[in-house]
């Protein structure tokens, strides 16, 4: 399992497309999310990075051509799915470090004042990421890649809009009003959703024709 995680990380920094993403997405987000509370920007970046890298690795191994290799190795399909669900946490930590360093540099150069680490937001990011992946992972197994991609975009876009909304309106924003950020409610919901998603994904992948 470590080998797979290692592979995912290596791929993150060797694949041209991924490298471009890693380098340019942060400035892009900074530009788009103009917030007077830097912590929302931080949240958006952490969530985006973890979500996108997790999804990309999931898609590659589950649907990309390397699925033939992974599934020919002495490893059950259940394991493959399990590792994907575990790996989002690994990506989360890698994101914290990478984004932290990146933003620290931006801060140091004085181009823009950004939060390079915010524990409160980092913790808030986890359930959000879990909820998103809970929905998107099984959709790649259930639907055609094109449809799954639409679902992914819908989710991601709504997150985005929510972030921009939050960023500009702060406490008056719609999301704050729903109050999903209240206490541990979201985390518990996320965990339940995540486990349910894991079970569903395992069941789906077991029956899938590669």
Partner 1 sequence: MKYILEVNELRKEFKDFTLDNISFNLEPGYIMGFIGPNGAGKSTTIKLIMNLLKKNSGEIKVFGKDHIKYEKEIKDRIGFVYDQNYYYEDLTINQMKSIVASFYSRWDDAQFNYYLKEFNLNPKSKIKTLSKGMKMKFSLAVALSHHADLIIMDEPTSGLDPVFRREVLDILYDIIQDENKSIFFSTHITTDLEKIADYITFINNGKIVFSKSKDEIMESYAIVKGGLELLDGDTRNKFIGLREGKFGFEGLTDDIAGLKNTFGDKILIERASLEDIMVYSVRG
Cα–Cα distances in angstroms (integers) from residue 99 to residues 1, 103, 106, 114, in the given order: 25, 6, 10, 11
Nearest distance, CB of residue 76 and partner 1, angstroms: 6
Nearest distance, CB of residue 146 and partner 1, angstroms: 19
203 is a contact residue toward partner 1 (CB under 8 A):
no
Cα–Cα distances in angstroms (integers) from residue 10 to residues 5, 20, 169, 186, in the given order: 9, 14, 39, 32
Distance CA 162, CA 115 (A): 19
Q: Which of 23, 32, 34, 66 binds partner 1 (CB under 8 A)?
A: 66
Nearest distance, CB of residue 82 and partner 1, angstroms: 14
9 is a contact residue toward partner 1 (CB under 8 A):
no
72 is a contact residue toward partner 1 (CB under 8 A):
yes
| Alpha helix positions (H), 64-184 | 67-72, 77-109, 119-142, 145-169, 174-178
Q: Which of 6, 112, 172, 185 binds partner 1 (CB under 8 A)?
A: 6
90 is a contact residue toward partner 1 (CB under 8 A):
no
Residues in 119-158 at the binding interface with partner 1, rule: CB under 8 A: none
Q: Which of 23, 32, 73, 97 binds partner 1 (CB under 8 A)?
A: 73
Q: What is the largest CA-CA distance in the chain?
A: 54
CB 95 within 8 Å of CB 22: no
Q: Which helix (H) or strand (E) holds 181?
A: none
Start-to-end CA distance of the chain, whole Å, equals: 21
Encoded one letter per residue, x for contact with partner 1 by CB under 8 A and - for no contact, window 16-35 reads --------------------
Binding stretches for partner 1 (CB under 8 A): 2-4, 6-7, 10-11, 14-15, 65-69, 71-76, 207-210
């Amino acid at each position: 399992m470590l080998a797979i995680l290692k592979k995912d990380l290596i791929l993150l920094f060797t694949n041209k497309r991924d490298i471009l993403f890693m380098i340019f997405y942060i400035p892009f987000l900074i530009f788009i999310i103009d917030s007077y509370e830097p912590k929302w920007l931080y949240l958006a970046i952490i969530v985006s990075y973890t979500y996108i890298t997790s999804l990309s690795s999931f898609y590659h191994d589950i649907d990309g051509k390397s699925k033939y290799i992974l599934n020919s190795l002495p490893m059950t399909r259940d394991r493959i799915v399990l590792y994907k669900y575990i790996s989002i946490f690994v990506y989360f930590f890698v994101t914290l470090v990478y984004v932290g360093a990146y933003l620290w540099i931006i801060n140091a150069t004085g181009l823009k004042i950004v939060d390079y680490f915010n524990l409160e937001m980092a913790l808030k990011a986890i359930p959000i990421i879990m909820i998103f992946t809970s929905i998107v992972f099984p959709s790649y197994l259930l639907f055609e890649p094109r449809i799954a991609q639409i679902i992914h975009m819908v989710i991601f876009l709504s997150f985005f809009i929510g972030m921009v909304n939050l960023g500009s309106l702060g406490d008056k924003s719609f999301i704050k009003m729903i109050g999903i950020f209240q206490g541990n409610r979201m985390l518990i919901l996320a965990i339940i959703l995540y486990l349910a998603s894991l079970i569903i994904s395992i069941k789906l992948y077991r029956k899938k024709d590669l």
